[in-house]
Every structure is written in structure tokens, then in C-alpha cells.
Chains A and B, each alone.
Chain A
Amino acid sequence: MTGKDKWAIGLGKAVSKFSTLFGLGAGATWPGEVALSLNSDIFSSFAKQFKFGIILVAGTNGKTTTALMLKTILHYEEFKVVYNGSGANLLNGLVSSCISASDSRGQLTADWGVFEVDENSLPLILRYVTPKIIVFMNLFRDQLDRYGEVDVIAQKWSKAVDSLNSETILVMNADDPLIAYLGKKSPAKVVYFGLTDDAPQDTTMEHATDSIFCLNCGSRLIYDHYYFSHLGDWHCATCGEKRPECTKTPFESPLPGLYNKYNTMAAALTSIQLGIHSSHIKHALEGFAPAFGRQETFTVNGKKIKILLSKNPTGFNASLRTVLDMKPRAILFALNDRIPDGRDVSWIWDVDFETIPDDIPVIVTGDRTYDMALRMQYTKTHQDVGALIAEPNYRRALKTALRKLKSGETLVILPTYSAMLDYRKIISGRKIL
């Protein structure tokens, strides 16, 4: 560690203290930002200090939960882990979590770094570190105004992955044709996870699919099974491309929902690569508690509130399906259009809200309350809006929703990112952790 590193870390720590002291609430990114402005290479200095290495988790959906599962399993093995649990997943967020975990001399004494990384930031982060493992979850359409198209991200990832060598293991989702294609081309060691035939399947493909044409030859892919969006057991009848062979990971998912099965498989397969015994993985997962806003449950006056972050069509469809299985007494949708949500809310038309039965009361709120209300109105066979309630004020919307419940019943909130943070604050008094 150089003097310059120490300076950068020291200043980052000061910023962190200052930010906490004055309740600025930017502790997850600001210290890293300041340290990076002094030394853009600071993350490589940190990276060298991890005893065993760094694991990165990338993908549109499931990063936070998968990274937390990994952390849980590594903790079970009594490893010391640095982890960006606040969801700050740009380079400045990763650096901030290292700064806060380091001692007064800027030294880390951790075994592993487990970081979820933003789709766009992955190539940049790979310039500073050679991770032990990179987990690739999936690629779906998400905030097109900010991230650009799915294919553009796939191209960036492809370039980044091509520059890796056999020091890195890639843990990849075989059911996503875009991800599998990255794996097939990569010089790194690749292991695949994927669902088996006995997983619950969709009979018709949902509307929000992004990658159902062969990456190799452009023909329409054939799915023997498909699970959700463009994830499934696929092959190309024209050129013979097909889903790669998967390593079996027979672990129960600690959370409901098909998407959590993927998260569990990803975390388990990664742990297996590290040599962790399967009985330990199993026990560790049994003690898993969900990440903030991801199926988190709160109790208010004997009534239950479940929050499921729903920020893009695929995630939303997956959440909706899980929610309807829970038989909730009421559903509250909170749609915002701030920077972390994406300014364009067009994507709500790609979500299959038509699946919500008429007898479940629906309340809509957020910056774009009326866009959401309009979307709900167009799920109906008559123009009559029925029991739909549109209430832009968060607190009033929540009160109205809770009034629909008897003690012991459940209200489910499906918010976009910033609305999730706001509702956590209203319900628990804290935005993140």
C-alpha cells in the first residue's frame, strides 16, 4: 500500500464519518467517490489485500439476493467477508464498502470480497481486479433510457470476458441464451447452472422476452421447456447451438419464487467451486434472511406487509407470480420515475398485470400513479375501474391499503427501486440496512 493509497482511504473514512454524523445518507457511495478522485487505482490496492480473492455477481435480476446468499454461506464457514450490502454497485460503492471495512491504516483483514456489480460497470471494474469468480445471472430489458439495450450490454460484457484468463471461473446461467453464448466464447473456466425439467414451467411464453433468437445464426430458438422470460432449455434447429450442460445443485431455495431458485443455484454452484461442502451450503441457506426490499416482511399492528422490489418487466412478472401464490389480501404498486428507477415508465406495458384476479384490491401510488392506474384500467374487460384506488401520496396509499386487511392478513407492496427505499423508511424507519 502506497502513501497515496493511505491518503485516499483516510479521506474516504473522514467523508464517511462526516456523512454519518450529519445524516447525509450518502455513506454508501461518497467515501469511495472521494477516494477514487485522489487515486483512481484504489480498488486494485484493496483487491490485493483479500486473502482468498474477490467474487463478483452480475446480471439484471437477482444480484443482491445471490450476493447475500454467498455472504451467508461464507460466514457460515467463518470467513471474513467484505460485501456491498447497501446495493451501491458502481465502482464507488465497491470502494466505499472496502473503506468502511478497513482499519485506521487502510488495511483490510478480510478473506473474501463479495460484490454485486452494475451491468454497465462490470467492464470498468474488471480493469482493476482479476476476480476468482464472476457469477453471471441473466440479462433482461431494464431501464433502457439509462443502460441502453440488452445487446449493447452483452457486447460490453463479451469484450470484458474475452480478456480474462484461466485464473477466473465463470459461473453462468445456461438457461439464458445470451449468458451461455458469453461462456462458450470465453477463455476462462466456465461452469453452468440451470433449472431441470421438473421445475414449474410456463405453458406460453410471457411477452417480455429479449433473447429468443440464436446468437450464432439468427434463427428462432426452440424451447423444450421454458421457465420465465427467455430463460429455458433452448436449442437452435438451424446451427445446433444448445443450452450447455449444467452442474446439478440440489439445494432448496430459502425463498419462494422461481427466480430465487436461480439465485440459490448460482450461490451454491459458486460455493462448490470454492470447495465448500454441500451439507454446509444446505445448513447455511436454511438460515438465510432476505435482503432489504426483496421479500422482506414487516408487521404493523398485527398486519403483515411484504415488500418485493419490482423494477423491470421480467422481475415484475416473476414477483407477480410469486405474489399471487401467496394469496395476498391487497396489492400496492408504487411506480416512480427517478434516476434509479429509470425515467421512462413505458415498460409497465410489458408486465402481465392481466393475471391479477378481480377480487384482489389494487392500490397504486408513486410519481407515476396515473400511468400505473391507466395500465391497470386497461387490464379490465369493461372501462369501469372497479375497486382500483389511485393515490399519489405514499402514506395515504399505505393507510388505505392496510384498511383492507384484517389482523394476520398480508399486504404486498411491489415498488420500483426509489419507492422501495421510501416505503422501507416509512414502515421501518430506515431506508437500507
Chain B
Amino acid sequence: MKYELTIAWLYPDLMSTYGDRGNVIVLEKRCMWRGIRTTIIPISLETSIRKLSSCDIIFMGGAQDRQQKLAGEDFIGNKGPVIKTMVERGIPALFVCAAYQFTGQYYRPYEGEDIPGASIFDLVTVHPGDQAKRLIGNVTAQIINLPGCEGTTIVGFENHGGRTRLGPKTKPLTRVVRGFGNNGEDGYEGAVYKHAVGSYFHGPLLPKNPVIADWLLTKALEIKFGKSDMFGTLPEVYESKARNVVMKKK
């Protein structure tokens, strides 16, 4: 039997600022290297909901303010509710950076009214004002809530003004070893709900942290085919060396 997964890439022309494409490349290639076929479906403003709902795994990345506004209107009013249903069904999803903020209850800017989110995760994000420090830098963290991956160290780069706090229905993805994380205060980074993962580790989260990529893909195969034994392990070649360099950064 030929196995195939369809990857939904949300707003590649609007929400892909910080090397977000890296995540899609990793999902695609880690399937290809194991003989599993993939199709990447770019989902943008004009794409139909029907196309989106037939996908097996979802990715959405970061954006600049102007593009974020364009995508945001479409996401909240149109694609977001569909994705929420998909996540409830167990479809794996990865939301990074601006997308992570979109998936909460709301985003509170330092001026103006709250911007509602898609309520996929139980979380809220508050921007503390333009005088507050942006949380920027390399981060090291340890996974605490991804079944089977607990204890694994992951690394990334964060660059966000908003502070995110999780509600009781959503668990944090990691405990921060070094860096700021969700809000720079409670020591947690990211969010997990069912098979959906959110994180501030912007852009290419998956290349250096293939454990998360493989977890998402395994879940996608299990949901679609009821099994994931065709998904063998792949050796790490450069990943651990690349992580080590980040962990030693000042």
C-alpha cells in the first residue's frame, strides 16, 4: 500500500516571514525519506474550506503586522473554525509565532480592543505596551507534555512582544531552560492540546528538533491509516551538533 499525507500550509504568501518554510520542508522530506508521499496544499485567502478540511496535517507560521491583519481577518472569520474542528478530531497541527497567538482566546494589544482568536488553545496573549521589552533570543527548553517525547531538549529562537498565558485546558509544551518562553515569567514555553502544538520558537522550529516533526507525522498517520509502523526511525546527522551550538550561545 502507498501511504500519502496531505500537508496544509496556511497563508504561505502572508504568514511566512522568519524561515517558516523550513517546517514544511522538514515535514515533507521526513516523509519522502521514508517512502511516504506528501502533497503540500497552500491555503491562502482565496482557498476553499473544502480543500482545507481534507488535509491530514496543518502548519501555520509567523507574519508581519500588515500581512498578519489580512490573514487574521480570513482566519478568524473563515479558516479558524474549520481548523478548530479538525484539531478536535485529532488532526495534528503546528502553530508558530503569530499563528500561535491567533489560536488563543484573544490577543490584547496595548492600544485598542481585544482581537478574538480561534480558541483552539485555552490561552490568552497580552501585549504589555510599547515600552516593554521584546522577548528576543536563543532558547533552550525541555519537552514536558508531548507523549513519548518528554525529557527531550529542544532549541529555537524567539522574538515576540506579546505575553501568553495558558488556561487549564491547555498544557505547556516545554519547560524553559534558558530564554523567556511564553511570557518570561512562569518558565513555560508553547502549548499542547490533543495533537496540536503551538510555540514561539519562530520560523524553522522543526529542522533542529525533528522529534516534534516525527511526533506530528506519526499522529497524522495513525489518524489516517490507524497505524504508524511504516514510519521508521531516521538517524540524526547534523541536528544534535546544531542544537549544541545554540545551547552554548551566550
Contact = CB atoms under 8 A, between A and B. Distances in A.
| Pairing of A with B | yes
Interface of A: 141, 144-145, 149-152, 207, 209-210, 212-213, 218, 220, 337, 343-350, 367-371, 373-375, 377-378, 380-383, 385, 390
A204 B71 CA distance: 22
Interface string B213-250: 00000000000000000000011011101100100010
26 contacts: A144-B17, A145-B157, A149-B65, A210-B64, A212-B13, A213-B67, A218-B70, A220-B45, A344-B157, A344-B203, A346-B157, A349-B22, A350-B19, A367-B245, A371-B208, A371-B242, A371-B245, A373-B237, A373-B238, A374-B237, A375-B22, A377-B237, A377-B238, A378-B22, A378-B207, A383-B234
Contacts of B45: 220
Contacts of A374: 207-208, 237-239, 242
B25 interface: yes
Give the interface size bracket for B toward A.
35 or more
A380 B207 CA distance: 14
A346 B64 contact: no
A209 B21 CA distance: 12
A349 B237 contact: no
A213 B70 contact: yes
Contact of A349 (B14, B21, B136): B21
B92 interface: no
B198 interface: no
A385 B235 CA distance: 12
B18 A385 contact: no
Interface in B157-216: 157, 159, 202-204, 207-208
B50 to A, nearest CB: 21
A343 B238 contact: no
B17 A141 contact: yes
B17 A213 contact: no
B64 A350 contact: no
Interface string B59-79: 000001111001000000000
Interface in B1-52: 12-14, 16-22, 25-26, 29, 32-33, 45
Contact of A370 (B18, B136, B157, B238): B238
Nearest to B64: A149
A368 B22 CA distance: 16
